[in-house]
Structure 1
Amino acid sequence: MSDPPAISPFDWAIVVAYVVFALWVGIKYSKRAGKNVDEFFLSGRRLPWWIAGTSMVATTFASDTPLVITGWVRDSGIWMNWYWWCLAAGGMLTVFLFSRYWRRGEVMTTAELAELRYGGLEARMLRGFLGFYQAAITNTIILCWVILAAAKIMDVLFDVDKTASVAIACLLALAYSMMAGFWGVVVTDMVQFVMAMVGSVTLAIFSWRAVGGASGVLAAAGKSEGGFTPDTLAFFPHAGGAGEPFWTVSLAAVCVFL
Structure 2
Amino acid sequence: MLHAADYAMLIGYFVLMLGIGVYFYRYMKGMKDYFTGGNNIPWWLSGVSFYMSSFSVYAFIAYPALCYKYGCVGITLLWVAVPATLFSVILFARKWRRARINSPVEYLEVRYSPLLRQLFAWQGVPVKMVDDGLKLVSIGTFISVGLGFPMGQSMIGAGLIMLIYTMMG
- Tell me which interval the TM-score lies in, with the shorter structure as reference length: 0.7 to 0.9
| CA shift digits 1:31-77 (9 cap, x unpaired) | 111x3332133211212456545544543331111221112211222
2:115 matched residue in structure 1: 125
| CA shift digits 1:186-214 (9 cap, x unpaired) | xxxxxxxxxxxxxxxxxxxxxxxxxxxxx
Computing the radius of gyration over CA atoms, which structure comes out larger, 1 or 2? 1
Among residues 2, 6, 9, which one is paired with 1:7 in the alignment? Answer: 2
Secondary structure of the residue aligned to 1:60 is coil
> Which amino acid in structure 2 is aligned with residue 71 of structure 1?
A
Report % sequence identity.
Answer: 22
1:26 matched residue in structure 2: 21
Secondary structure of the residue aligned to 1:32 is coil
Q: Distance in 1 between matches of 2:147 and 2:8?
A: 14
Whether the aligned pair in 1 keeps the contact of 2:144 and 2:151 (CA below 8 Å) is: yes
Q: Distance in 2 between matches of 1:49 and 1:8?
A: 43
Mark the runs of 5 or more structure 1 residues left unpaired by the alignment. Answer: 1-5, 181-258
Mark the runs of 5 or more structure 2 residues left unpaired by the alignment. Answer: none
The residue correspondences of 1:1-258 to structure 2 (distance < 5 A) are: 6-33=1-28, 35-49=29-43, 51-117=45-111, 119=112, 123-134=113-124, 136-180=125-169
Q: Distance in 2 between matches of 1:97 and 1:133?
A: 25
Q: Distance in 2 between matches of 1:60 and 1:36?
A: 23
Deviation at 1:83, TM superposition (A): 2.0
Looking at both structures, which has the greater relative contact order when contacts are Cα pairs under 8 Å and sequence separation is at least 6? 1
Whether the aligned pair in 1 keeps the contact of 2:63 and 2:75 (CA below 8 Å) is: yes
How many pairs does the alignment contain? 169
TM-score, length basis structure 1 = 0.60
Cα root mean square deviation, aligned = 2.0
Residues 37-46 or 139-148, more deviating: 37-46
